[in-house]
A and B are shown apart, each in its own frame.
Chain A
């Protein structure tokens, strides 16, 4: 900025004009990109928790598994761009397979006991964290981002849009579209919705509910893996990265309303923009508090979340 900036304290409400607009647009983009990250980490949960009602505390560790998959692939394939692209499907399968294994070995035995599911999956999450520590070491690791994603696109007026955040935004958008289509159009999607809306009736109609559960869990966990790949572009990869994300993910799904995706998408972006705005006007810690207060207030008003799925289930 020009030398004139030295005399004015550069605080948001004390400057107007072009710079304010630049900052506003920059912040809006930051908020949307925080929202995209929230959306990616919550999308898988919207399936397993939102649709199936399973409280999976190990969901964060599936995100971690996706991130470490990227790291491992980069050791093998040194071209950062290719390893990132290949990591997307591989992480989906790795995390999805872990999810299926968890569902098959433990969760399916506990469908009638949600509290036990919670404790068991929490235990699994601790085991997976220690496993990561044993395999990859305690210190966090980093991946190299492809050169293309470390730059930015400069728009007129000094606005810059970071390429890695654009990539994550596109990834989140792509995941939402793919998931929506899969649920609406494919036979599997129809079965998933049928089981969610009325499990008994679905079973009576000849839908193999156990297999549908497993597939739902595969997709939900796989999406966590994709989120893990995206997060390697922003920060370090470590054994505890999942625990830091799991609460945010649950918040988004609960506030969005259980049983459908629309709420998750809207709430992820709303919380992202709220967080970015709050942080810009105050500080990061105060902004976090603001977001929590907003969530508590909202849930007092609408305990069922933003949208609810009307079902004929008697449960």
Chain B
């Protein structure tokens, strides 16, 4: 019968699709070359750097803006004479929101283009995918996004916040506001799962109750059930570690269910100005975010950054924390190279400790021991105009502590 035959063919097709997907996941890891690193090619008038961001797929909503900010910093530096008298030549690659692709492209940037440093990655999954590539080739990655901590690669500089500079201050803020119970919602990958482990340890030590935790696959757009669970839990606040445009679906559903910032506030750690704009202010007004920088952060350095960004990309384009951290990372790399007097990776690393930069978010200092940077923590509220205004800050830069060694309650983690 044709119907049965049709179904068999269909089954074959599905197997084919699944096999192709599996092959794509399995085969693209790096081959086992035991090289001692590839020196950057700095023989000409220029020095190449790699830009590795998702320009397509579910993460593109966020990562395209990071690419734009890196390009702005490179242009500014080139206009001012470059680094060690060499102009920076950016080489861009698309990670396509797919972690094996990130690893493949990182390998290509290091070995074929022989770049002096790579700027990029957003999700921790992509960072974990490229980490062995950078370590094997002894090449440098500057990672500009807040993340879950518990990591310290000698070949990665982390210019976004680690947990004690973002999530822990965010929790401190909620506690001070009187929240005693939380509901955790996140994307299903390493950052939200690790972050929630930390949040649960914090909650236990601070007398807060975690009433539930739920994860949705990256790119998931069905949040009916999760919203029902959140609503019926009656939690004081929701801690949201969703990434990418799942946030669009989640906040649409949240509003449809009649939940608001007044009845059950959501604290997000992956929603910045750009995401607010694309999710829609109508869904986010009054909700909280924890970051280190907002477009509204006062100071001359930020005014200059915002003006330059808008002049280049359009007056309606907001600036955000990851963009700022990415912009800063290029300047920090420049300062390290100039202090070392060479592009040599090991020398650059040695020179990194104590380097400071008057960043748009305020003064930042590189901590050579952890290769993270000291930053000021901030909590902000989404306004009707789509911008985020600060409601609290830590007063001074917080020393990075990726393994939370100075927090007794975090003893069981790692």
Q: Which residues of chain A have a CB within 8 Å of any CB of chain B?
A: 1-2, 5-6, 9-11, 19, 22-23, 26-27, 30, 33-34, 37, 49, 53, 55, 57, 114-115, 118, 122, 133, 138-142, 144-145, 150-152, 154, 160, 162-165, 233-236, 238-240, 244, 247, 250, 254, 258-259, 276, 279-280, 283-285, 303-304, 308, 315
Contact = CB atoms under 8 A, between A and B. Distances in A.
Contact of B248 (A114, A150, A235): A235
By CB atoms of chain B within 10 A, which of A49, A118, A239 has the most? Answer: A118
Nearest to B65: A139
B249 A23 contact: no
B55 A138 contact: yes
B256 A164 contact: yes
Contacts of A285: 188, 215, 217
B232 A144 contact: no
A315 B2 contact: yes
B9 interface: yes
B278 A142 contact: yes
Contacts of B7: 254, 258, 303
B20 to A, nearest CB: 10
Contact of B10 (A26, A55, A280, A304): A55
Given A118-B13, A284-B214, A284-B217, 10 more contacts: A5-B211, A5-B234, A23-B232, A138-B57, A140-B245, A142-B279, A151-B258, A235-B245, A236-B248, A284-B188
B234 A10 contact: yes
Given A133-B56, A235-B245, A315-B2, A140 B13 contact: no
B245 A163 contact: no
B61 A140 contact: yes
B248 A303 contact: no
B355 interface: no
Contacts of B175: none
B19 to A, nearest CB: 14
Contacts of B389: none
B212 A11 contact: yes
A236 to B, nearest CB: 4
- Sort A-B residue pairs by CB-CB distance and give the 7 closest, nearest first: A1-B234, A235-B221, A162-B256, A138-B56, A30-B224, A235-B249, A10-B233
Interface in B226-254: 226, 228-229, 231-235, 245, 248-249, 252-253
Interface string B182-212: 0000001000000000000000000001011
Nearest to A240: B57
Interface residues of B, number: 57
A164 B253 CA distance: 9
Contacts of A315: 1-2
A122 B12 CA distance: 13
Q: Classify the secondary structure of B's interface with A.
A: helix
A33 B224 contact: yes
A239 B226 CA distance: 26
B220 interface: yes
Contact of B229 (A154, A165, A258, A280): A280
By CB atoms of chain B within 10 A, which of A11, A138, A303 has the most? Answer: A138
A297 to B, nearest CB: 15
B14 to A, nearest CB: 7
A26 B214 contact: no
Interface in B126-180: 180
Nearest to B60: A139
Nearest to B227: A30
B304 to A, nearest CB: 27
Contacts of A151: 255-256, 258
A145 B280 CA distance: 10
Nearest to A27: B228
A235 B14 CA distance: 25
B364 to A, nearest CB: 29
Contact of A138 (B1, B60, B255): B60
B280 to A, nearest CB: 6
B125 interface: no
A283 B212 CA distance: 11
A141 B216 CA distance: 20
B3 A304 contact: yes
B58 interface: yes
11 contacts: A49-B6, A138-B60, A138-B64, A139-B60, A151-B255, A152-B256, A234-B252, A235-B252, A254-B7, A254-B10, A285-B217
Interface string B244-280: 0100110011011110000000000000000000111
A139 B122 CA distance: 15
B136 to A, nearest CB: 30
Contacts of A150: 252, 255-256, 282-283
B265 to A, nearest CB: 15
B229 to A, nearest CB: 7
Contact of B226 (A49, A154, A259, A284): A284
